[in-house]
């Protein structure tokens, strides 16, 4: 009985120790995530400063959204695509198919934040959102309203 009690006490102590270690690591990770977000915002601001036509209308006739050059497509490796498909399972397409979407097209439908376990495994997707159309997974990067990656149906 004493051995069982001692074993239980040691197990509880180990669990508490691991929980405190996890919370400490999460506290260390939070500022790093904030720094990444800030550096991405600064990089975007630098790009906007280098290309002033992205914010000003051309010839006064077209809005800035039409003048802005399409951002580079989100490059995903086959392993990253596989991970995304593991977390996001689109339902089968039923009924009339809507017009297909390609990279750079505006996304006007509602989007959902990517699951946090997925963004933890693929940091470049931090802040990205997704939607599903015609069985395809459409990924939109942070502060973008255009399709940055389109994963067709299997």
Q: What is the mean pLDDT of residues 129-151?
A: 84
Contact 146, 105 (CB under 8 A): yes
Least confident of 41-45, 68-72, 83-87, 90-94: 68-72
Q: What is the pLDDT of residues 79-107, one digit of tens each?
A: 888 888 888 887 776 666 667 777 888 88
Q: What is the pLDDT of residues 106-124, one digit of tens each?
A: 887 888 888 888 888 888 8
Q: What is the mean pLDDT of residues 42-57?
A: 70
**What SS3 state is found at 69?**
coil
What stretch of H or E contains 123?
Answer: none
At residue 91, the pLDDT reads 74
48/58 Cα distance (integer angstroms): 15
Percent of the chain with pLDDT over 70: 80
With a threshold of 0.85, does the pTM exceed it? no
| Residue 22 pLDDT > 90 | yes
140/63 Cα distance (integer angstroms): 21
Q: What are phi and psi of 129, to 5 degrees?
A: -130, 165
Domain ranges of the chain: 1-69, 71-91+101-154
């Amino acid at each position: 009985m004493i051995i069982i009690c001692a074993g239980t006490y040691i197990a509880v102590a180990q669990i508490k120790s691991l929980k405190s270690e996890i919370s400490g690591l999460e506290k260390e990770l939070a500022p790093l995530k904030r720094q990444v977000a800030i550096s991405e915002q600064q990089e975007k601001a630098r790009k906007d400063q280098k290309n002033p036509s992205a914010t000003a209308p051309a010839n006064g006739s077209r809005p800035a959204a039409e003048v802005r050059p399409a951002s580079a497509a989100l490059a995903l490796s086959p392993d990253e695509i596989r991970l995304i498909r593991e977390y996001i399972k689109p339902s089968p397409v039923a009924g009339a198919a809507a017009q297909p979407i390609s990279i750079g097209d505006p996304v006007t439908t509602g989007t959902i934040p990517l699951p946090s376990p997925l963004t933890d495994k693929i940091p470049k997707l931090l802040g990205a959102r997704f939607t599903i159309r015609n069985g395809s997974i459409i990924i939109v990067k942070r502060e973008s309203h255009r399709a940055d990656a389109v994963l067709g149906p299997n």
